[in-house]
A and B are shown apart, each in its own frame.
Chain A
Amino acid sequence: MRARLILSLALSLAGLSGCVPTFDDNLPLIDKPTLLAIQAEPAEAAPGKQVQLNALIGTPDLNAAPPALRWGLCVARKPLTELGPVNTVCIQAPSAAEKDIIDLGSGATVTATLPMDACRLFGPSLPEPMNGEPAGRPVDPDPTGGFYQPVSSTLVDSSVTSMGSVRIFCPPSGLDQEQAAAFNASYRNNQSPSIDQLSARTAAGETLPIPAEPESLPVAANEVLQLQASWQPCPRTPVCGDGVCGAREDKSNCADDCTAPKGCTGAEDYAWFNPDARSVETRHESVRVSWFSTAGHFESAVTGRDEAEYDQSTTEDAWTAPSTAGDARIWAVIRDSRGGQSFRSFLVTVR
C-alpha cells in the first residue's frame, strides 16, 4: 500500500480583491432630463379600466419646464428567450409597429385604458390560440402574484424610452373554489405608497424641518445630511374604522372604510396564493425609496425595507452637499413591491 501526504502553503503577493471592477457611478445625480418614476393611479386595475399615468422627470435646471413626453401601451408579449422584463419591441416605442404599441399621446399625465385581454396578454389566462394551435402558455406572476401591463414613456427631445407598468388585477389561476373564495375575500387592489414625512438630520444630530417649495433648506457646502423618509404604518389586523379597507372587509360589513375602498399608503398586507403549499396566505409589501438630486451625492441610490422588515416604516440615506454654493433639488421616489409608486421633492440651498 502506498500513501501520500501533501502539505502546502500558499502565499499570495497580491490581494484577490483586485479581481473585480468598481465603478464610480452616481446614478442619483440628475445631470440631464431623466425619467425617475411612472405612477399609475389607481396602482392596480382590472382589464378595461382606465388609469392615469403620471411621470416624474428630473431636470438639472430647477426652473426648466418639464420636457415633452410621448406615451405608449405595449401589447407585445415577451418571449421566453427575452430575459428582461418586457419584449424588446416595447423599447422601440414610439417607432414600433402599431400592433405592438398603442399610442397614448403626449404630456406629463395621460390616461390609458387597460386592454380587455390584458390578462391573456400579460396574465394567467391562456392566450388566444395562434395558427390553429392550442392555447399557449400563460405568463408567470411576479413574487407578489402580480401581472403587469407595460407602458413606454419617451422623452421627445432625447428619444430616450423608459418602461413603466400598471399592475393588472387578474385572479390567480389554479385555485379551487374554497381557495378562490378566500382569496377574493382577502385580496385588495394595491394602493400606491406615499412618503408621509421627509426629514433631515445634521451630523450634530439636529433635525431640520423640510420646507415646502418654493422655500428651500439651507445647508453648508460639503455638509452631510441624514435624510429620512417615512411612510404610514399599516394595520396588521383589519379593524373597521381604521381608514383602510382590509382583508374580509367590504361595503356590507364596513361601509366607512369600503364604500370608496381605501388602501394603506405604507407596506400593505396582501393576500397571496402560495402555489407550493396551495393555500392563500398573507404577505407584506417591501418598500424602497430611490434618491435623486441635481447636485451632491448620496451614499446609496436606493434604500428600503424588505418584506421581513415590514414593521419598519422609515428608511435613511446620507446626502453630501456639493462643495459649491447654489440651489439643488432632491427627489425621493417611494415604491412598493406590488408596483405602486409616488414621489416627493424639496429644494436645498448650499451656502
Chain B
Amino acid sequence: MTSRDTSAFFPIPKYYDGQARVRYQPEKKTFVELGGMISSDDVSRTVGNADPAYRKEENRHLSFQRIYLRYETDTADGGKVSAMPWIGWDRSTLTGRFGGTPTVLEVDSHDYGFRASYRGRVAPFLTAEVGFDLEASTHSARRVGSVTAPPREGDARAFGQPPSDQINLDTWQAADGSAAPYVEGDFSLFEDKLHIIPGLRLEPQFTSVSKRVPTEGVFAPQGVFTADTALEPRLAVHYALSSRVTLKAAAGQYRQAAQPQDLSASFGNPSLQSSRATHLLFGGAFELNKNISLETTVFHNSSDDLVARNPSSSPLIAQALVNGGEGRSYGAQFLLRHQLAHGFFGWVAYTMLRSERKDPGTDYWRLFDYDQTHVLTALASYDLGRGFDVGVRGRYASGYPRTPVVGSYFDARTATYQPVLGDKNSIRIPAFLELDVRVAKRFKFQSSSLEIYLDVQNVTNRKNPEEIAYNADYTERRYVEGLPILPVLGIKWEF
C-alpha cells in the first residue's frame, strides 16, 4: 500500500450464514438427522486515483452450502453404526483490476461425500472402528491475470507491490475423488490405564483435469488423469501414569490433494501430485491440584511434495507450479487451566513454534509466511456476585515474517518504482500485544435472561503493527496498524 491509496480505501463487506437441522428419533438408540449449512461473504473495495495505473478495484466472494443426512444407531452388542451422505456447493471468486491489469480467479465446485462406520467392542480389551470415506468433487475454474497474482505462500514481495502486467487466461475443469477404507483399534490394557490406538487408512485417489497443456489455436484440448494409492498408518498411545498424570504420543501420515485452482495448464500444473506430511507429537496432562491442570504437547511435522512455483527461468509448458517444496515445523504447546471455582475461571495457552519451508531449487530453509515463534493467550474471568462478571484477556504473538525491501529501481515503462528485495522472510512485523477487558451484568427473568456487557478491546490503545507498508519509491516504511481502543456495548437476550 503506497501513499497514493492509503487515504481512499473503502471495503464494503456483506456476509450471512446459517444452519439448521431436524432430527427424527424413531426409537431410543436410533436417530436420523437432516442438516444444512449456508454461508456467504462478499467484500468489495475501490481505490480511485488521478493516475490510471493506480486505479484499483477488488471484489471477493466466498460461499458454500452443505446438506447432509446422518443416521446413527446403537446396536444390541454395544456397538455404534453411523452413515452420512452429504452434498455441497462451493463458489470462490476474486475479480479485480490494478491499473490496466485484470485479475480473475473463479472456482465453482460440487462436492459429494459418504462416510459410514461401525464402532464396536471386539474383545474385552479391544474396541475397533471400521469405516469408509468416499469423497468426490468436480470443479469448474477460470483465471485471468498474472501468474503471480494473487501471490502464493513463499513469494518474495512487498505489501502493495503492483502485480506483474504479464497476463494469461485459462478455463479448465477438474474432478477429484478418493475412496478410503479405514480401520482403527483401541487396545485398552492394564486396567484401562494404557490405550494403544493403531489405525490404517488406504486411500486410492484420482484427479482428472480437462487440459494437459494450454489451448493453442483451434486444437481440442487434451486432458490429463493422475491416480495414486497411499497407505496411511497412524498410531496414538495414552498412558495414565497415575490418577493425576496422563502421557500421550501420536504419529501419523497424511496427504492433501492439489487444489483445483493450481491445476491450470497456464497458471499451475495439471499433473500435480498430492502433498504428504508426517506428524509426530508427545505430551502429557498433569492435574496439579483440584482446580489447576497443565497440558503439554511437543510436536514435529514434516511435509514434502508441497506445491510451489517453478524456479526455472524457462519452466516447461504447464509446469508453472511443481511438487518441489518441503516443509517442517516443530514446537511445543502448554495449556494451564484453572477450572471454575469460587467464581474464578481462567487459562493460559502458550505455543512456541518454528515453521519453515525449503523452496524448489534452493538448499536452505526459510521461515514459513505464517510462522509465529510465540503465541500466548491468557484469559481470566471472575464472578463478582449479584450477576456481575468481569473478565480480562491478554494476547501476545510474534509478528509474521516478511521479506525486507533493500532498495528500489525505477521502471520507466510503467513510471513506477519496483522494490529490490532482500532475503526471503528474514524480518518480522513487530509483535502483537493486546489487552481486552469485559464487564457484564446478567438479569434473570422467568423464561429468559438478559445480559448487558461492555467489552473494551485493546484497552491500552496500543498501536499493533499488522503489515509493513512502503511509500511509492520504497525509501520509507511504516506500519499498517490494527484497531485502536474499541469499546463495544452489547445486549444479549436469551429466551
Contacts and interface: CB of A to CB of B under 8 A. Distances in A.
Interface of A: 2-16, 18-25, 27, 34-38, 76-81, 83-88, 91, 126-128, 130, 133-137, 139-144, 148, 153, 160-165, 173-176, 275-276, 286, 288, 290, 299-307, 317, 333, 335, 337, 339, 341
B309 A81 contact: yes
A83 B164 contact: yes
B488 A10 contact: yes
A306 B471 contact: no
Given A10-B487, A12-B484, 16 more contacts: A8-B489, A9-B489, A10-B488, A21-B1, A21-B481, A77-B314, A81-B310, A83-B148, A83-B164, A126-B317, A143-B101, A144-B100, A174-B215, A275-B168, A303-B50, A339-B413
B15 interface: no
A14 B460 CA distance: 12
Given A27-B473, A339-B413, A19 B480 contact: yes
A115 to B, nearest CB: 15
Given A19-B482, A83-B163, A137-B317, A7 B490 contact: yes
B156 A7 contact: no
Ranked 4 nearest A-B pairs via Cβ: A14-B484, A21-B478, A136-B314, A302-B51
B311 interface: yes
Interface stretch (B73-81, B224-232, B414-422): B414-422
B2 A23 contact: yes
Given A142-B167, A302-B51, A302-B53, A22 B6 contact: yes
A286 B419 CA distance: 25
B105 to A, nearest CB: 14
Contacts of B493: 4-7
B173 to A, nearest CB: 16
Contacts of B461: 14
Contact of B52 (A6, A8, A134, A288): A288
Residue among A25, A84, A163 with max Cβ neighbours from chain B (10 Å): A84
B164 A85 contact: yes
A20 B492 contact: no
B263 interface: no
A288 B314 contact: no
A317 B50 contact: yes
A135 B495 contact: no
Residue among A10, A88, A128, A143 with max Cβ neighbours from chain B (10 Å): A143
A12 B1 CA distance: 25
B479 to A, nearest CB: 7
Given A25-B473, A81-B309, A288 B51 contact: yes
B447 to A, nearest CB: 11
A83 B412 contact: no
A76 B313 CA distance: 8
Given A83-B155, A83-B156, A140 B166 contact: yes
B3 interface: yes
A163 B7 contact: no
A27 B414 CA distance: 15
B100 A286 contact: yes
Contacts of B315: 79-80, 136-137
A143 B490 contact: no
Nearest to A139: B166
Nearest to A339: B413
Contacts of B485: 13-14
A317 B50 CA distance: 9
B469 A20 contact: yes
B490 A8 contact: yes
Nearest to B171: A276
Given A35-B412, A91-B409, A286-B52, A20 B316 contact: no
Contacts of A16: 483-484
A143 B102 contact: yes
Given A7-B491, A8-B488, A137-B316, A19 B483 contact: yes
Residue among A34, A137, A160, A317 with max Cβ neighbours from chain B (10 Å): A137
A24 B51 CA distance: 17
Nearest to A7: B491
B490 A141 contact: no
A22 B161 contact: no
A148 B409 CA distance: 17
Contacts of B494: 2, 4-5
